Structure 1
Amino acid sequence: MGEISGDAVSVAGMLAGVATVVVGHPFDTVKVKLQKHNTGADGMKYKSGLHCTARILKTEGVKGLYRGATSSFVGMAFESSLAFGIYSQTKQLLQGGITSEKPQLHAIFPSGLFAGAVISFILCPSELVKCRMQVQGTDSLLPSLSRYSGPIDCALKTIKTEGLSGIFRGGGATMLRESLGNAVFFSTYELVRYHMHRPLRDASSDLTHLVDVGIGIVSGGLGGIAIYRRSGIRGCYTGLGPTIVRAFPANAAAIVTWELAIKTLGIKRE
C-alpha cells in the first residue's frame, strides 16, 4: 500500500464501515437471534438461519433485519475510519516510511494488532447496544418497562442500571478478538491482493476497474472468513452459520468500497 494521507484514509475507512453494515447487519441480526433464543431454557425456537430470517421478515418486515443498525452505522463508520487510519499510519511508521510493493508481514501484522486494540474501546459499547436492540424484536419476551426506544435510550438505561462498566461489558474479550481479527484480516487482505494483482497488471485499461473490484471482493472476503474461522475457537457455535455466511460479502463490500474510495480521492497506490 502506498503512502496515503490520514484524511483520505479516514473518509475511505468510514465509507467501508457503512458498506459493512449495509451488507452484513441482516446476517448479524439472525446470528444474535439464534444465540438468544436457541440457547435458552425453552429449547430451540428457530430451526435454522433461514427459518429465523423468514420469521423476522414475516413478523417485522425488512426493518426487523436492520434492528439496532443505527448504533452499528455510527459505531462501524467511526471504528472503520479509525481502524484503517491507525493501520495505515502504523504500518508506514514500522516500514520507516519506505513503500514496498511486496507486503511486509513484520509491519502488517503488528499494525493490525494495534488498530484492533484501539477500536475495541469503541466497538464494545456499540456492539452491546446493537445486540440488546436486536434481541428486543417484536417476539421478545422482555416486559415493556425493559424495552428500549432507541440506541441512546438503551445506552443510558444500561449505564443507569449497571454503571459505566456495564457499557463496556465483555471489553477484554472484544479487545482480544479485534486485535487478532484485524491482524489476520489485514495480513490476508494484503497478501491476497498482492498475489492476485501481479498476473493481472498487464490487463487493458478498460478492464482495470473491474479487475480491482474483483480483487477487492476476493481479498476482502477471504480476509473476513479468516477472521471468523478464528472466532469459532471461542466455542460459541450457535449462530456460527450466519456469521460465516456474513463474513465474505460484508468484508468484501468493505474492501471494495475502501479501494474505490481511495481511487476516487485521487490516492495512488502501488
Structure 2
Amino acid sequence: MKPNGEEERGQLRAHKNTHLKLMLTSLSAMAAETSTFPIDLTKTRLQLDSSSSSTTNAFRVASEIVREQGPLGLYKGLSPAIIRHLFYTPIRIVAYENLRNAVVSADGDGGGGGGSLSLSAKALAGGFSGVIAQVVASPADLVKVRMQADGRLVSQGLQPRYSGPLDALNKIVYTEGFGGLWKGVFPNVQRAFLVNMGELACYDHAKRFVIQNQIANDNIYAHTLASIMSGLSATTLSCPADVVKTRMMNQAAGKEGKIIYNSSYDCLVKTVRIEGLRALWKGFFPTWARLGPWQFVFWVSYEKLRQIAGLSSF
C-alpha cells in the first residue's frame, strides 16, 4: 500500500527537519568548540603529564603555553577539533533526539518530547548515540590530540611531529597504517558512552525538571541550569576514560616498535600503579571548566537557532 499525500508530506518534512537539525547542530558546535578550545588544550597537556607533582596545575600549564608559543598557541589543533565536531556532535545530538522520540512514540505518547522517559532510558539512548558518533569522528580526534601534544615538544626545543592536520593524517597512515587512525578507539568509545550518557540524558532530564517545576520557562535560564548539571555529571563519569583515551591516542610506536601501553586496560593499570588513583581525574577542573561553558554556548545557541528555524525545543 502506497503512502497517501499527507504521509508523503510528513516524511518529506521529517527528512528536511533532520538535515536542518544537523546543520544547526554543526554551527552551534563550532561556536562552542572555538570559544572553549584553550581550556581543552590545557586539559590535554595536564593529562599527558605523567609526573606525580602537585605543583602542576591548569593555570601554570596555560601560562607556559602563552609564554612559549604566544596566545595563538592556545589554539594549536583547533582545525581538526572543528572537523571532528562537524561529524561527532550532529550525529550524537540528532541520533539521541530521534531515539528518544521513537521510544516515546512507541509507548503511545504522541508528544515526542521525551518527558515520559526515565533517566536510565535517556542515559542508554545518550550513550548509544555517543558511541556511533565517536567511531565516525575518531580519526579527527586522534589528529587533534597529536597536534595538541606537539606543543609540548616545541616547548622542549624539539621539532614538532606534524606541520598541520593533513600532514598529521598522512604521516599517521604512512607509519601506522590506515587502522592507525582509529588508535585509542576503544577508550574513546568508552569515554563517548559515558560523556553522552551524562551530558545528553542529564541535560534533557534537568531541563524538563526545571520547566515542569516552574523554576524557569523554556528559556536561557533553564538551558543554563541544565547545562551546568550535565557538564558536572559528564565530567565525573568520563574523566578516567578521557585520561586513558588521551594517553593511548598520543603514543606512537618508536623506531624499535615499542609502545608504553599495550591496551587501554594496561594504560589504566600503569597509570594507577605509578601515579595513584587520583591520576585518573587529572585535568578534572579544566575538563569541567570547559564542558560547562561549552555546553552553555552550544545548548543556548542551538535552542535559539531551532526557535528561529521554527523547530520545537530539543
With the length of structure 2 as denominator, give the TM-score of the two structures: 0.74
User: How big is the shift at 1:199?
Assistant: 4.5
- CA gap of 1:16–1:244, structure 2 versus 1, over 3 A, is same
1:39 corresponding residue in structure 2: 50
Aligned residue pairs, count: 257
What is the CA deviation profile of residues 170-196 of structure 1, one whole-angstrom value per residue up to 9, with x for unaligned ones?
Answer: 111111221232122121111111121
3-state SS of the aligned residue for 2:163?
A: coil
2:71 corresponds to which of 49, 56, 62: 62
CA contact (8 A) 1:220 1:254 kept: no
CA contact (8 A) 1:94 1:107 kept: no
Q: How far apart in 2 are the matches of 1:184 and 1:33? A: 24
CA contact (8 A) 2:65 2:73 kept: yes
Matching residue's letter, 2:45: K
2:117 corresponding residue in structure 1: 104
- CA gap of 1:140–1:59, structure 2 versus 1, over 3 A, is closer
What is the identity percentage for the equivalent residue pairs of Structure 1 and Structure 2?
21
1:22 corresponding residue in structure 2: 34
3-state SS of the aligned residue for 1:96?
A: helix
Q: How far apart in 1 are the matches of 2:55 and 2:183? A: 27
Q: How far apart in 2 are the matches of 1:86 and 1:195? A: 22
1:129 corresponds to which of 140, 143, 147: 143
2:247 corresponding residue in structure 1: none
Matching residue's letter, 1:117: V
Which fold has the larger relative contact order, with Cα–Cα distance below 8 Å and residues 6 or more apart in sequence? 1
Q: How far apart in 2 are the matches of 1:99 and 1:86? A: 18
Q: How far apart in 1 are the matches of 2:221 and 2:300? A: 8
- CA gap of 1:246–1:265, structure 2 versus 1, over 3 A, is same
1:71 and 2:115 equivalent?
Answer: no
1:176 and 2:229 equivalent?
Answer: no
User: How big is the shift at 1:68?
Assistant: 0.1
User: How big is the shift at 1:160?
Assistant: 0.7
2:169 corresponding residue in structure 1: 155
User: How big is the shift at 1:103?
Assistant: 4.5
Q: How far apart in 2 are the matches of 1:45 and 1:57? A: 21
User: How big is the shift at 1:260?
Assistant: 0.9
Q: How far apart in 2 are the matches of 1:55 and 1:69? A: 18
1:80 and 2:95 equivalent?
Answer: no
1:264 corresponding residue in structure 2: 308
- Structure (1 or 2) with the larger CA radius of gyration: 2
Q: How far apart in 1 are the matches of 2:310 and 2:287? A: 34
- CA gap of 1:200–1:112, structure 2 versus 1, over 3 A, is same
CA contact (8 A) 2:198 2:237 kept: no
- CA gap of 1:72–1:233, structure 2 versus 1, over 3 A, is closer
1:212 corresponding residue in structure 2: 219
User: How big is the shift at 1:29?
Assistant: 0.5
Matching residue's letter, 1:35: Q
1:189 corresponds to which of 170, 181, 203: 203
3-state SS of the aligned residue for 2:25?
A: helix
3-state SS of the aligned residue for 1:95?
A: helix
2:237 corresponding residue in structure 1: 230
User: How big is the shift at 1:99?
Assistant: 1.8
Matching residue's letter, 2:88: E
3-state SS of the aligned residue for 2:285?
A: helix
Q: How far apart in 1 are the matches of 2:193 and 2:42? A: 25
Q: How far apart in 2 are the matches of 1:29 and 1:45? A: 19
1:244 corresponding residue in structure 2: 288
- Unaligned residue ranges in structure 1 (runs of 5+): none
User: How big is the shift at 1:200?
Assistant: 4.2
1:7 corresponds to which of 19, 41, 52: 19
CA contact (8 A) 2:104 2:116 kept: no
RMSD: 2.6
- Unaligned residue ranges in structure 2 (runs of 5+): 1-12, 242-278
User: How big is the shift at 1:168?
Assistant: 0.6
1:139 and 2:149 equivalent?
Answer: no
What is the CA deviation profile of residues 43-80 of structure 1, one whole-angstrom value per residue up to 9, with x for unaligned ones?
Answer: 75973211111111222222111110001111113211
